[in-house]
Amino acid sequence: MSVIFAILFYLATLVFVVGLLSRISLYARTPAPLKIPTTPAPTTKTGVVFRLTREVVFFESLFKANLWTWAMGWLFHASMALVVLRHLRYFTDPVWGWVAFIQPFGIYAGITMLLGLCGLWVRRLFVERIRYISTPSDHLWLVLLIVIAISGLLMQFVSHTDVIAVKSYFLGLLNFNIGTLPADGLLMLHLFLVFALLALFPLSKLLHAPGVFFSPTRNQTDNPREQRHLSAWGSKMESEN
């Protein structure tokens, strides 16, 4: 079992990294031939950095759109960020100071993450418009994340797993040594679903994470009159006539 999970770990990480990088490079290589920032838009590069930061950290546009979706979505994402960072303690020895510092917050963030996810699912199930646009995969993603959160919380608060053994297993994997993973059902469920999430990330709507940085309506500077903006294929038309 330890070997199977080791293979899954390496495989999922590989698919995640390679898949994501290839997708990002595809986005970066695809030209944006016209200036299409949604205005009013920043007129300087610094302004664009601020706009994207507000978008990524505070979900500014979603805030304008719908307070409930924003509250649930932001709660889920912010909590998950804390939870993920907290998990760095299982991959570092000695544990970095700031990771140790956020540990207590990270644990409770598991609960708020679950709350946010449930809120989002309730909305998807019961708001007519959102139910109409939902595909089976939209529901399954929420289920997957909810089960990951619940299994993690159960290990934390109800049925403790041997975290010391888990940590030495993962530290081993980082050095390509396959140790022994505790034979704990909850732990295996938790890990299996996280590996599934990693592997499916670059194939799914989770690409919204890198996508937002490449969105021309958000990342372009509003200076079309001051600076000529021309794509390679657009400029080819000029040499043709």
Partner 1 sequence: MADITAPAYRTIPIIPALKPGAMEGKGPYIANEKHQEALGFPGQVPDDWHDKAIAKMGELLSKFRSLRVYMDACVHCGACSDKCHYFIGTQDPKNMPVARQDLMRSVYRRYFTFAGKYFPWLVGARDLTREVLDEWYNYYHQCSECRRCSVFCPYGIDTAEITMAAREILASVGLGQKYSNEIIAKVHKIGNNLGLPEPALVDTLEGLEEDVKEETGLDIKFPVDVKGAEVLLITPSADFFAEPHIDGLIGYAKVFHATGTSWTLSSMASEGANFGMFIGNYEQLRKVALRIREAALELGVKRIIVGECGHAWRVAYSFWNTLSGVGDGADETDRFAQMLQKQLDHRYKQPTHICEFTWDLIQRDALKFDKSKNDKHIITMHDSCNVARGSRMGDLPGGQFEIPRNIIKAVANNFVEMDPNTTHERTFCCGGGGGLLTDDLMDLRVKGALPRMEVLQQAVDEHGVNYMAAICAICKTQFSKIMPVYGFDRRMVGGVHQLVSNAIILGDK
Taking CB under 8 A as the binding criterion, the range among 153-161, 165-173, 181-189, 224-232 that sits at the site for partner 1 is: 224-232
> Out of 3, 126, 132, 175, which residue is the one contacting partner 1 (CB under 8 A)?
132
46 binds partner 1 (CB under 8 A): no
- Name the one range near partner 1 by CB under 8 A: 92-100, 170-178, 188-196, 230-238: 230-238
Q: Which is nearer to partner 1, 50 or 91 (CB)?
A: 50
According to the binding rule CB under 8 A, does residue 22 interact with partner 1?
no
116 near partner 1 (CB under 8 A) = no
Does residue 34 touch partner 1 according to CB under 8 A? Answer: yes
Assess 3 for contact with partner 1 (CB under 8 A): no
Does 215 participate in binding partner 1 (rule CB under 8 A)? yes
Q: Which of residues 182-211 bind partner 1 (CB under 8 A)?
A: 203-205, 207-208, 211
The residue type found at 101 is F
Name the minimum Å distance from CB 57 to partner 1: 12
Alpha-carbon distance of 192 to 186, in angstroms, equals: 10
Site for partner 1 in 56-95 (CB under 8 A): 59, 61-62, 64-66, 69, 73
Does residue 180 interact with partner 1 by CB under 8 A? no
Tell me, letter by letter, the H, E, C secondary structure of the chain: CHHHHHHHHHHHHHHHHHHHHHHHHHHHHCCCCCCCCCCCCCCCHHHHHHHHHHHHHHCHHHHHHCHHHHHHHHHHHHHHHHHHHHHHHHCCCCCCHHHHHHHHHHHHHHHHHHHHHHHHHHHHHHCHHHHHHCCHHHHHHHHHHHHHHHHHHHHHHCCCCCHHHHHHHHHHHHCCCCCCCCCCHHHHHHHHHHHHHHHHHHHCHHHHHHHHHHCHHHHCCCCCCCCCCCCHHHHHHHHHC
Site of interaction with partner 1 (CB under 8 A): 23, 26-27, 30-36, 38-43, 55, 59, 61-62, 64-66, 69, 73, 123, 127-130, 132-138, 140, 203-205, 207-208, 211-212, 214-218, 222, 224-231, 233-234, 237-238
